[in-house]
Each structure stands twice: as structure tokens, then as C-alpha cells.
Amino acid sequence: MDCWTHELEKASTPEEVMHSANDYLSLWAPRELDSVDLGLAEMRIESVEDIDRVKRSLTTPFVSLQCSPRSGAHLQELASYFWRASTRIQELRA
């Protein structure tokens, strides 16, 4: 398990998940993906509800079609992280 997923697992509140997800997105977008073409440059995690919005944005077919093969792998990893973050928030709220 990577350190980012570990951060999600040890989060004790949805807000901790939100802060971790915001950090994760800000590190990934400029470094590994063409953030402007994929719409990641405009994405911000300012509330817990933004986790689901980003998750949906990352998993749309349009986003996948805009990726190079290399970026596609990174996009899949980023989308998987946001799926887990969303699930973790649901767990914490239950």
C-alpha cells in the first residue's frame, strides 16, 4: 500500500480525507498529467463533497480519450485513489 492510500486509511474524519485528497491532486496534476487538457487545473478540493465531483470527472469517457497511453495509466491511478477516498468518506460517515 502506498503512503497516500495509507493516509486515507488512517484518516479519522471526512475532513482529513479531504485534505489528503487535495494534496494528492495538487501533486499529481502538474507533474504527471496534462492538467489543462484534462480539466485538472481547475479542480479543487475545498469540501468533502468535491471528492465525488473529482472522482466523476476523472472517470468520464471524455477524459480517458484525451490521454496519451502514458497519461492514461496515471489517470487510472488517480481515479482509483479518488474512488478509495470517496469510499473512505462513506465509511467514516457510517
Q: What is the pLDDT of residue 13?
A: 96
Helix and strand totals (H; E) in the chain: 5, 0
**What parts of the chain have a pLDDT lower than 50?**
36
Q: What is the pLDDT of residue 32?
A: 56
Cα separations (Å) of 40 from 13, 50, 70?
25, 13, 16
Q: What is the pLDDT of residue 86?
A: 95
Q: What is the pLDDT of residue 8?
A: 94
Interacting residues of 16 by C-beta distance below 8 A, sequence separation 6+:
none
Q: What is the pLDDT of residue 74?
A: 75
CA–CA separation, 58 vs 75, rounded Å?
Answer: 7
pLDDT tens by residue, 52-62: 988 888 777 65
pTM across the whole model: 0.79
